[in-house]
Chain A
Amino acid sequence: MGNSNKTYDVVVIGAGHNGLTNAAFLAKSGLDVLVLEKNDYIGGATVSRELEPGWFYSNCSYVCSLFRPEIYQALDLGRHGLEIVPLQGSVTFSQSGDYFGSYHHSEIRRREIARHSQRDADASIRFDADLMKWCRLIRGMLLRTPPDPTSFKPRDFMEFAFLLKKFHELSEDQIYQFIRFFTMSIAEYLEEYFENDLLLAHFSGGSIIGTGLGVYSPGTAYVLLHHAMGDVDGNVGSWGFARGGMGAVSGALASAFQAHGGEIRSGAEVAEINVSGRTATGVTLASGEVIKAKKVVSNLDAQRTFLKVMNEKDVPPDVLTRARNFKIRGSSGKLNIALDGMPKFPTLPEGSPLTLGHMHFTDTLERLERAYDDWKEDRWSADPYTDTLIPSQYDPTVAPPGKHMMSVFVQYCPVEAEGGWTPEKKDAFGKTVIDQINDYSPGFKDMIVHAEVRTPKELEEEVGLTGGNIFQGELTLDQLLFNRPFPGYAQYRGPVRNMYMCSSSNHPGGGVMGAPGANAAREILRDLKRTDTTPEDFGDD
């Protein structure tokens, strides 16, 4: 039992990357901050787990791109052990025995696109420029608190003016195009540029990762931005591996937090946020221990926050209603595989660099849409879309020498598999994925030393992501910007005084950005009239 008489300045619920980011900026300001984590390990969905001796799985999030470089710099995460290594390119294998490789080098990539369609090689110039326009617009909003359009406070006017100014840098035509982009399906968006089926399938994959939507569902074009607007060392669209796995991200954040005097308690599940007279006063742990705090920050998703750890009597009915209707359906599974050696992909020429990047085995939009159809019927995709990576090719710390670690993100996987998951169903799901990889990598199955199969159920039960939704809420326009998580609550303040939210359920959403955590910290420091320790956007002009 801790010191029950002590009152912390701030208690943060959940030691995921946003909770730790939030806590680190608050501690940097000199506040006395405690982070509580239900698991025995920190990180939430940014973890590296040694489930088979010698292999470390990034068993939830698995690549890094969106994490804000401003946060990295402001918290000096490099000195706290973080290293992001850019990864090279991507490949989609086709059923006909060919492949499309998106090489790291632009000239080689162009030649490869031209191999499939000369016209698409030229169209990719137009596509890249258009996508960069939208990336640029959204990137400028990531480290900002969304305005409340219904408010008459001068600050909200200023923020709204900022947003409009951002829009004004676009021409009228571009604004119309942007609104189309926000509401279109990725398939239809890409078809305005490309003609080749394999290219269309390759470029659309990023738009369905983590969503309960298909490639033809309106709103998926926008999701592409969450996979295209990140950067590694200024290379927009690049992805990277955190050396040591995603646990290195939370590890560095925790180290920075502790260096500023912060305190972390793991194995400390919060049962309830205590509220007295419309004001949060602290939390009660599952163990019954009461911890007092002047401010309480929830890094849990919106449903868990308002429907589980808050007493529903403390929550206004409209918030309860919105929380219940919050779109947070899980749609993704994951396999983490320890391999005895490097799998072979005979389709690729000897020495090809394409195994170094994202590998996909779905070569048409139709197969992608069919994979979604299965999920709607509460089945895992019989022919799933996967994002397969072998980070041990770069990272010597995640597998023993000569051995490899494979991360397979699987779209789609239902929250409840036709009446509920059983161990047999989970095995069958894993087998579906492994069989697909084995089709392109003969002998793959025999190399498997250990495999962890994760469905949305495990993501919910272990990590605490409601429905196993990796973004802590669908990234559609009705749940973005000043609508995230709900209208009127997009400025990180909860429905009772001294209570805040910093999870990915808040603007700008999921993808291991750290931005919700930093933005919430800025609001808390503003309320405390303390100097802002959170970084400003680098800007790109």
Chain B
Amino acid sequence: MHDFTKTLAPSPFYDRIVAQSQTQNWAHWNGYQTPRVVDTVASEYFAVRSSCSVMDLTPMEKYRITGPDAKAFLNRLVVRDVSKLKPGRVTYVVWCNDEGKVIDDGTVFHLSEGVYRLCAQHHQLDWLRLSSIGFDVSIELETHDVAALSVQGPTSYSVLTEAGISGLETVKPFDIVHTQLDGFDITVSRTGFTGDLGYELWTEPENALALWDAIFEVKKRGLYDIRLIGLDALEMVRIEAGFIMPGWDFNTAETVIRDGYDRTPYELDLGWLVNLNKPYFTGKRALAAANKQPLKRKMVKLILDGNKVPSGSFIFDRKDGKNIGAVMAHSWSPILKRAIAYADIELINGQVPKEVSVEIYYQKELAWKLHWARAEVTDKPFWTPKRRSITPPDAY
């Protein structure tokens, strides 16, 4: 029997999330009810950047990939060489269709010898099964069978240690450890979507509330502030960190209707992921050809002058000049005190421009106004703190 009365499914952490939500402001994420804002966006943003944030990661699509050909299958699927990924390590990947257009991005977790988890932004079972023909591999959706929490922020290491998770001092970025908490198994990876120090914790759904309570007990003891955060704050920190969102910042290849609306990794500034020297992988021939052609367009990062945030803005080569693209994701960066954005732009004479003009419409007391902002084009993440990568992490 199908429950048609609820649009969204509850995650294993649902009871705790609802109890903490002051706004009851919800979004949907892969069919789950997810907080958009828990309290205020500002306090949630600074929990990530100043103390410790918690976010329910359960809705993220997760696939368990096992079998004798698991490694060979993954290496054929993604554009990066993952054949040397050791057990206990994670890596970021994208995968493409035969035309070299990006279908989705995600992370490959080599959980233990020959056992992998692929995390994806979008539903991929159909593509993964199609891609697995001829491989002795098992691909199972495990989104609903793994409860996951993302604990991010400068004090996240201290919080998790106080919560009873030991051994994190030697865990480097992209490491995985399997450990125990209060008698149940958890897996911890030093990964995240915030660009800060942080960990992701994975366990069986029946342990979800115990894991949650162990973490928030640290706050009850008065040691550190810990805040549940929603998608709005996450959007700010992930843009600062330079992460892109397939389906939001660019069209995923499988959903594209109009020709030319999909993107290669090169056009997304993800060319560094493509390994044309590894054996055949899906999209290799098209990407090898694309790599020889000059780029026509690219996803770039913009740092804007002034204090106006570009929303739905067109990009011009200069004020009142030629329209060369549009702003995609955008945010005010409280830590940089700058408006920042991703923009999908055409190159000018084959070159990425060093600066562009952004046409921003904004409201003051309901009156619409137009502002032209100069923007610097950059290919670096907007913000990368040292604490993100040092091991052992700073203790508080």
Contacts and interface: CB of A to CB of B under 8 A. Distances in A.
Interface of A: 101, 103, 105, 107-108, 110-112, 115, 118-123, 125-126, 129, 132-133, 136, 169-171, 173-174, 349, 351-354, 541
Contact of B255 (A120, A125, A353): A125
Highest count of chain B CB atoms <10 Å: which of A105, A107, A353:
A107
Given A101-B2, A125-B254, A351-B5, A170 B259 contact: yes
Given A122-B125, A125-B126, A105 B257 contact: no
Highest count of chain B CB atoms <10 Å: which of A123, A136, A170:
A123
Highest count of chain A CB atoms <10 Å: which of B4, B6, B129, B255:
B4
Contacts of A136: 257-258
Contacts of A132: 257
A169 B259 contact: yes
Interface in B124-172: 124-127, 129, 141
A110 B31 contact: yes
| Chain B contact surface mostly | loop
5 contacts: A107-B28, A115-B2, A122-B123, A126-B126, A349-B1
A107 B124 CA distance: 16
Contacts of B141: 118
Given A108-B4, A123-B126, A129 B255 contact: yes
B293 interface: no
Contacts of B129: 119
B270 interface: no
Interface in B250-269: 254-260
A101 B2 CA distance: 9
Highest count of chain B CB atoms <10 Å: which of A110, A120, A122, A354:
A122
B31 A119 contact: no
Given A119-B126, A351-B5, A354-B4, 20 more contacts: A101-B4, A103-B4, A108-B2, A108-B6, A108-B7, A111-B9, A111-B31, A112-B4, A118-B125, A119-B129, A120-B126, A121-B123, A121-B125, A122-B123, A125-B123, A125-B126, A126-B127, A136-B258, A169-B259, A353-B4
Contacts of B99: 173
A126 B125 CA distance: 12
B8 interface: yes
Contacts of B126: 119-120, 122-123, 125-126
Given A125-B255, A132-B257, A112 B127 contact: no
B375 to A, nearest CB: 27
Nearest to A169: B259
A431 B194 CA distance: 65
Highest count of chain A CB atoms <10 Å: which of B31, B141, B257:
B257
Interface in B92-120: 99
Contacts of B254: 125-126, 129
Nearest to A174: B259
Nearest to B259: A171
Contacts of A125: 122-123, 126, 254-255
Contacts of B31: 107, 110-111
B4 A352 contact: yes
A429 B114 CA distance: 61
Contact of B8 (A107, A169, A173, A352): A107
Contacts of B2: 101, 108, 111-112, 115, 349
A383 B246 CA distance: 46
